Every structure is written in C-alpha cells, then in structure tokens.
C-alpha cells in the first residue's frame, strides 16, 4: 500500500507523523519541510532532528526540493524549502547534498574554538560603551530568501537606538572596536558563510565566529590564517565571493 501525505507543520510534528506512516507502508510519498536536513550544524547539536529521526533519513529514496519562494507563492506560508520525499526500505538518497555549507567551512569556521558570535547577542543596548545594532530579518516571501544581517550604513548601525525593527545588539568598549567589528562582517570569509546558508531558515548568528578581538581591523588574509584555511579553501571562497 502506498501512502501519500501532506502532514501538518508544527515544529517536528510532520516527522513524527511520517515516522508512523512508515510503519504501515513500504512506499510513502510525503510533502513537508526539509530544514532539519539542511542545517549544517545538525550533526553537532545534541538532540537534533537529524539524530532523532535517523530512521527517516536512512530510508529516503528520493527528495525533490521546492524552493521557499515557490512554497510561499503556492501555499501562502513562510516555512522555507519543502521537499517531496519518497520513503522506501531501500533508501539511498544522499541527505548531505542538501547542506549548502561545505564540511570544511563548518569545521574550520563555524565551529572555530572560542566564543561564538551568538554568545554575544544582547537584547538591549549596553549601558556604557559603544554598540552595533543589527536587524535580524527573515523574509522568504519576496523570491529571494535571505537574512539581512545589518544595514550597510555604518552611521546607522553605530549607536542608533530608535529603529522600529527586530534588532539585537553587540557591545564594545570603544567606537573603534565597534567599527572594526562592522567592517569585519563584510570580509569574504564572513560573507561566504552567510551566503552558504542564505536560503536556509537558520540564523547566521549560529554560524559566524566571534573573533579574538576587534581592537584592530581584520583583513581576509588575516582571517585565512586565523582559521587555518588551505589554498583550496581560499580558492573556493575567492571563486564564490567577489
């Protein structure tokens, strides 16, 4: 018996329903989100859906991706990419092919030792010192799913308090440090990581590394050395980011 389904989407409810369907059929066709397969950090997260639903992953025979813009156009929902799964006992689909951030970039940059970018997020601007305000916006409905990390206007990002948008803050001791931080985010290494997850409903804050300090400006060459990138790694970044 073949089961064809479009389960409700509520956190990982669709995966639980799919898991149950697999008990009643050896040929299941399913339409549901694929974010859990696209997360480049899934293998490193304790209790991630990637680990919890390994039985589903191993039995995916094929998966056709429907992009977030098309999903929004057809269904009027902002769930990111959906997938048409076919689940059979044989499986065989390479789920790693859905992860757009390459393994070397995850291991060398996103999982770089030291404090993480996300650990420095502040809900309100600091009482003293300087800060950078950063809009955190996800917008899959315009045909170009992306995270807008911040304005390109330094003056607007530096010590502006009254912007009507969803924001987070980063605090610094001086304006110079805040400026160096701002400029670092436009370097090729950082843009490469942001680019690689721009079509996944994930916050780049989880992937961007917090550098050892911002008392001095950084350059791409300094970051290549800082992360121990190989000539091949550097070549890929230079090819992707102009």
Q: pLDDT tens across 91-122, in order? A: 999 999 998 888 899 889 888 887 888 888 88
Angle at 189 between CA 134 and CA 208, to 5 degrees: 45
Which range has highest mean pLDDT (101-105, 142-146, 149-153, 177-181)?
177-181
Which of 49, 73, 98 is the endpoint of a domain? 98
Q: In Å, what is the CA distance from 16 to each residue of 4, 42, 54?
A: 15, 18, 12
Range of the domain at 17: 2-98
Q: Band the pLDDT of 188: cuts 50, 70, 90.
A: very high
End-to-end distance of the chain based on CA atoms, in angstroms? 52
Residues 84 and 132 in one domain: no
pLDDT of residue 26: 93
Q: How far apart are CA 195 and CA 111, in angstroms?
A: 17
167: phi then psi, degrees, rounded to nearest 5:
-130, 160
pLDDT of residue 31: 93
Instruction: Average the pLDDT over each of 88-97, 121-130, 211-220 and give the range with the smallest value.
Output: 121-130
| pLDDT exceeds cutoff 80 at 190 | yes
Which of 98, 125, 159 is the endpoint of a domain? 98
Domains: count for the chain: 2
Q: How far apart are CA 201 and CA 198, in angstroms?
A: 8
Beta-bridge partner residues of 31: 84
pLDDT of residue 205: 72
Q: How far apart are CA 175 and CA 70, in angstroms?
A: 43
Residues 84 and 117 in one domain: no
Enter the pTM of the model: 0.77
Nearest to 144 by CA among 32, 33, 34, 67: 67
Q: How far from chain centre, in Å, is Cα 45?
A: 14
Q: Band the pLDDT of 181: cuts 50, 70, 90.
A: very high
Which range has highest mean pLDDT (35-49, 75-89, 131-145, 213-227)?
213-227
Q: Which two tokens stand for residue 33?
A: 């989100």
């Amino acid at each position: 018996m073949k089961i064809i389904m479009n389960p409700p989407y509520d956190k990982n409810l669709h995966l639980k329903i799919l898991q149950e369907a697999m008990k009643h059929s050896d040929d299941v066709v399913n339409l549901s989100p694929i974010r859990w397969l696209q997360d480049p950090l899934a293998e490193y997260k304790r209790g991630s859906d990637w680990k919890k639903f390994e039985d589903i992953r191993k039995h995916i025979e094929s998966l056709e991706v429907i992009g977030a813009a098309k999903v929004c156009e057809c269904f009027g929902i902002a769930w990111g990419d959906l997938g048409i799964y076919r689940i059979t006992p044989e499986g065989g689909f390479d789920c790693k092919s859905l992860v757009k951030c390459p393994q070397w970039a995850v291991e060398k940059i996103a999982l770089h030792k030291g404090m993480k970018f996300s650990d420095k997020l502040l809900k309100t601007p600091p009482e003293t010192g300087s800060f950078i305000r950063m809009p955190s916006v996800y917008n899959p409905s315009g045909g170009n799913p992306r995270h807008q990390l911040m304005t390109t206007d330094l003056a607007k990002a530096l010590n502006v308090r009254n912007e009507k948008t969803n924001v987070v803050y980063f605090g610094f001791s001086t304006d110079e440090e805040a400026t160096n931080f701002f400029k670092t985010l436009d370097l090729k290494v950082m843009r490469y990581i942001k680019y690689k997850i721009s079509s996944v409903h994930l916050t780049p804050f989880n992937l961007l590394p917090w550098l050892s300090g911002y008392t001095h400006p950084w350059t791409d060459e300094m970051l290549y050395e800082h992360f121990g990138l190989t000539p091949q790694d550097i070549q890929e970044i230079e090819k992707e980011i102009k």
